[in-house]
A = this chain, B = another copy of it.
Amino acid sequence: MPTIKDVARKAGVSVGTVSRVLAKNDTVKQPLRERVLKAMAELDYSPNLTARALRTNRIDVLGLIIPDITNPFFAQLAKGIEMEAAKRGHSVMLSNSHDDPEAEAVQVTALCDRAVRGIIVVATHGSQVRRAVDLPIVSLDRRYGDYALVATDHFDGSGKIADHLHALGHRKIAYIAGPMSMDVAQQRKSGFVSRIEALNTPEDPIELTLHEGHFDYDSGEEIGHRILSGPQRPTAIAAASDQLAIGVLRSARDLKVDVPGELTVTGFDDITLASLVVPRLTTIRQPFEALAISAVERLFNSAEKEPGDEAIAGDLVIRETSAPPPGAKSL
């Protein structure tokens, strides 16, 4: 590999001059600059990034720590981050924490040692911040330590679902929340409940029943079964996640309850499966792109005033599982 020295010799200039044309911003006179450019081309020279990093003490790499790249949601995030970083000429270093706080701590340290430009972390459950680091860090989706968080506006999204259901005419609704130990689950639930409460009037009352499960298919199926076999069957079930909702869909199929004819079902997240399932699921689409862009942006603007948390709204995606309740007047 040719070095800056080789280029300098070939062009008959000093290494300082070569470095200056590399930096572009400086004013190297035309004739010299051309000789240098020519020499670089002929030698197929490209600067040693490691040396540059050592000298300037900064490297154009971002660190990303996520629980599991195999989770489609995180994969989407990772893709968005990689693209946004690439736009700025940065690469991204990826680590899977496997939702293990221990591993996460090690990875944060490793990234610090590599002196990356900054780190984006989707925290594990129960992650602990070891030592203070000097790098900019931003939490994404799930908060890491005390660092500012960029996340979907779960409260708002659930509210949109509530509005949608209400507008469709549903007045007998069941909500299946995620585990209350999780922030997301709480936020989604309270967004839904508070919107319903706001919509609820004495003249046009809404019946809302609350259930709690885990964010997975089986939980949805089990709870769906229970709700649908019960005496007072609701006309709509809003689930706190797509996985829950898809479980509900299964239970409905099992019990021969027609969706959306007899029952409306909604989810949250818009995982790939949501549009693959039959009928296709009405849900809230998480703003992957906006989340990724904002997180990367913060790393680059970290010099500025410490920005607070950011909640980004997701869009309501109306598909085939939501419709007016049976017997409703057509709209």
Contact residues of A with B, CB < 8 Å? 1, 44, 46-51, 53-54, 59, 61, 68-70, 72, 75-76, 78-79, 82-83, 86, 91-96, 109-115, 131, 134, 217, 250, 273, 276, 278
If A50-B54, A54-B50 touch, whether A70 touches B61 (CB-CB below 8 Å) is no
Q: How many copies of this chain are found per oligomer?
A: 2
Pairwise interchain contact B82-A95, C-beta atoms closer than 8 A? yes
Determine the chain B residues whose CB is within 8 A of the CB of A109 once the complex forms.
46
Residues in B neighbouring A115, C-beta threshold 8 A = 48-50
Whole-angstrom CA separation of A79 from B99 in the bound complex? 13
A82 to B91, CA, bound (A): 16
- With A47-B113, A94-B94 already in contact, 5 other A-B pairs whose C-beta atoms are closer than 8 Å: A61-B93, A69-B69, A69-B79, A82-B96, A250-B278
**Which residues of the other chain, B, contact A70 by a CB distance below 8 angstroms?**
72, 75-76, 79
Interface pair B76/A131, CB less than 8 Å apart = no
How many angstroms from the CA of A48 to the CA of B51 in the assembled complex? Answer: 12
Question: How far is B68's CA from A83's CA once the two chains are assembled, in angstroms?
Answer: 11
A114 with B95, Cβ < 8 A, contacts A69-B78, A72-B70, A75-B70 known? no
Q: Are the C-beta atoms of B91 and A110 separated by less than 8 Å?
A: yes
Q: How far is the CB of A181 from chain B (nearest CB, A)?
A: 25
Residue of B nearest to A288 (CB): B70
State in angstroms the CA–CA spacing of A54 and B61 once bound together.
17
Do A91 and B114 touch across chains, with their CB atoms under 8 A apart?
yes
Let me know if A91 and B93 touch, CB within 8 A: yes
Q: Is the CB of B59 within 8 A of A68?
A: no
Instruction: Give A31 to B314 CA distance when docked, in angstroms.
Output: 62
Indicate which residue in B47, B50, B68, B93 contacts A92 across the interface (CB closer than 8 Å): B93
Residue in B68, B273, B278 whose CB lies within 8 Å of A79: B68
What residues of B have a CB within 8 angstroms of the CB of A113 in the complex? Answer: 46-47, 49
CB distance from A292 to the nearest CB of B (A): 12
Enumerate chain B residues within 8 angstroms of A92, measured Cβ to Cβ: 93-94
